[in-house]
Amino acid sequence: EPEVTQTPSHQVTQMGQEVILRCVPISNHLYFYWYRQILGQKVEFLVSFYNNEISEKSEIFDDQFSVERPDGSNFTLKIRSTKLEDSAMYFCASSEREGGYGYTFGSGTRLTVV
Amino acid sequence: AQTVTQSQPEMSVQEAETVTLSCTYDTSESNYYLFWYKQPPSRQMILVIRQEAYKQQNATENRFSVNFQKAAKSFSLKISDSQLGDTAMYFCAFMGSSNTGKLIFGQGTTLQVKP
């Protein structure tokens, strides 16, 4: 069964450093998403992306965050200057169609900011 | 703004028994989608079941079924014949009719299936 692949599975970074979280969506999917889950809390929407542009972003997705699909296969989330409160599990997801068909989520990247 | 509420932080059930997880939501939209996602200890998010609001028939996937009450804005998940592998966090989620595909999640319910 096709999978959404996220790398790395765990990343530790120093506060103030830039991090890039990588995702390879399912190949025929057109809609891409990032979510985050602070440990023990609910999953929160960050951003949706379609046709090489952001469709919607949440209040969490401020100027420190950016997304890119640089080469038609990878979908990346960059955090420019990490803060302690950015420590969370970050999930990438993709879907073939718009609307309520549900996504396929990746297995997540655990980001720890020290 | 849409909200999703899961009022049961933790539940437990004996293996082979039936358990129901509750979810309520708030929206002014008439057409939307509802989902249940399972998050086992591996932290992977797995789609369990989906419901389209304009369909009155409750969705069913094997041992998983929902009780969708549109007027009451309630969307509960019933797990029949519970198995040890059902132990996980379960999230209820809402998607509106806009085409951005944004999911709004509830706080989650931790379900433990006991042998």
| pLDDT digit string, tens, across residues A8-34 | 999 999 999 999 999 999 998 999 999
Nearest CA in chain A to B35: A102
Are A98 and B101 inside 8 Å of each other by CB?
A: yes
pLDDT tens digits for B6-60? 999 999 999 999 999 999 999 998 889 999 999 998 888 999 999 999 988 999 9
Instruction: Give the list of residues 6+ apart from residue A59 with CB closer than 8 angstroms, or none.
Output: none
Q: What pLDDT score was predicted for residue A63?
A: 94
Question: Touching check for B57 and chain A: CB below 8 Å?
Answer: no
Q: What pLDDT score was predicted for residue B50?
A: 94
Are B50 and A102 inside 8 Å of each other by CB?
A: yes
Are A99 and B105 inside 8 Å of each other by CB?
A: no
Read off the tokens for B113: 């299936």
Does residue A64 carry a pLDDT above 80?
Answer: yes
Q: What pLDDT score was predicted for residue A2?
A: 78
Percentage of residues of chain A with pLDDT beyond 90: 80
Percentage of residues of chain A with pLDDT beyond 70: 99
Does residue A43 carry a pLDDT above 90?
Answer: yes
Closest chain A C-alpha to B15 CA, distance in angstroms: 25
Read off the tokens for B12: 């437990």
Distance CA B98, CA A62 (A): 22
Task: Name which of B38, B27, B32, B39 is nearest B2 in CA terms.
Answer: B27
Nearest to A42 among B35, B95, B105 (CB): B105
Closest chain B C-alpha to A107 CA, distance in angstroms: 5
Are A105 and B46 inside 8 Å of each other by CB?
A: yes
Q: What pLDDT score was predicted for residue B100?
A: 77
Largest alpha-carbon pair distance within chain B?
Answer: 43
pLDDT tens digits for B54-101? 988 999 999 999 999 999 999 999 999 999 999 999 999 999 887 678
Are B43 and A89 inside 8 Å of each other by CB?
A: yes
Mutate to test the interface with B, among A34, A43, A67 (most CBs of B within 10 A): A43
Question: Touching check for B84 and chain A: CB below 8 Å?
Answer: no
Task: Check: CB of residue A26 under 8 Å from CB of residue A96.
Answer: yes
Name the DSSP letter for residue B54: T
Q: Where are the beta strands (DSSP E) in chain A?
A: 5-7, 10-13, 19-24, 31-37, 43-50, 53-57, 65-68, 75-79, 88-95, 104-105, 109-113
